[in-house]
Structure 1
Amino acid sequence: MQSRLTGMLIGAVFGAVFVFVNAASPLNTVVATVLQVAASVALAFIVFLWFTAGKRLRTGAAAPVHRPAGAFYGRGYLLIVAAEAVLLFGGIAVLRALGRPEQTNVAWIALIVGLHFVALAPVWKERSILIPGVVLTVLGVVGLVMTFTSAIAWVPIVSGVLSGVTLLSGSLAFSRRALASLTPAP
């Protein structure tokens, strides 16, 4: 359970980073600031839930009700993360060599991170991560298409901010579910 909560925390951190880095022009400054503050609050709440759940697990005050069967940090995970790193950095290098605009990078990152969740779902035997995986994949594809249009300035919002909101929302939902699944010991 703790490794899954840590995975949720990692997803939340990356979600917050997506929002912090990409909530900018062409958004109104007030809207951008509100999004960044909301991402900060969501991340702080997720960190609080992570520590709360971890404390319950360490003290034995709670026991997880549901234990998914998938190995969290096993061979499959390592292979997927290695492929993700190669695709992320290699893809950005190729995009740069092709002279693609900088906005293309955030769309590429969203696409690869989304595909990484889709690939991890069967490895972890956790279908719920398909939702953020598919959403991020779609946001990445939409952003890549947008880089060929006059809407290119909105790519960081579509592929960056919306991806961050997706990761933070998924992390919030999972952390609340995980905390609720911890029942007090008799």
Structure 2
Amino acid sequence: MTGLLVGAIFGAVFIVVNAQSPLNAVAVNFLRVAAFLGAASVVAMWFATARKDRKEQPTAGPRRNMFGRGYLIIVAAEVILLFGGVRVLTAWERPEQTNVAWVAFVVGVHFVALAPVWKDWSIAVPGVVLTLLGAAGLVLASTTAVAWVPLVSGVLSGVVLLTGTATFGWRTVTARTA
């Protein structure tokens, strides 16, 4: 559930930061409120699961370390690609909107790379979608539709992250109560 919590928070941030013009104010406010509510639901599921885990911990077997060496290598590469890529895009004088597309692309690739490390191929699905949304934004950034990059690569990526984390969180909570 901790990974889902992180994904939900980043999904909400993607939406809140990138919900902007050319969307109208009503759509922007709706998206931001929905992002907050989506993240809050995952936070609530996280607390419910953490409380239940604490009660059941003495009978639980050894836990798998999700944040081991493979994870650390992937996250280090992600940080280098994120910050290095943004600097390269700036040096190439690409529009500022290109940055959000690059972030979505790298975050998507990071999920795909984590799938075999975590032996959980379900994480590759949002990874592929984020990678595609990032790639679409990189293409859009080179067109007159550059103003739509934050929606395509930012807001839609956030929606994917929030929907995925809420869905998997709900499955986890309901499976434990069944």
Deviations along 1:7-44, whole A, 9 cap, x unmatched? 11000000000000000100011011001000001111
- 3-state SS in 2 of match to 1:73: coil
Determine which structure has the larger helix proportion and give its number: 2
2 CA distance for matches of 1:183 and 1:137?
34
Instruction: Give the equivalent residue in structure 1 for 2:153.
Output: 159
Would the aligned equivalents of 1:46 and 1:175 in 2 still touch at CA under 8 Å? yes
The partner residue of 1:54 within 45, 50, 56 is 50
RMSD value, Cα = 1.9
Aligned to 2:22: 26
Mapping 1:1-186, distance limit 5 Å: 5-60=1-56, 71-183=65-177
Q: 1:70 to 1:149 in 2, by over 3 A?
A: farther
User: TM-score under structure 2 normalisation?
Assistant: 0.95
**What CA distance in whole angstroms lies between the structure 2 residues aligned with 1:183 and 1:151?**
47
Q: Any stretches of 5+ residues in structure 2 without a counterpart? A: none
Residues 49 and 96 of structure 1, relative CA distance in 2, 3 Å threshold: same
TM-score by length of 1: 0.91
> Displaced runs of 4+ in structure 1, greater than 2 A?
none
2-structure distance, mates of 1:100, 1:71: 40
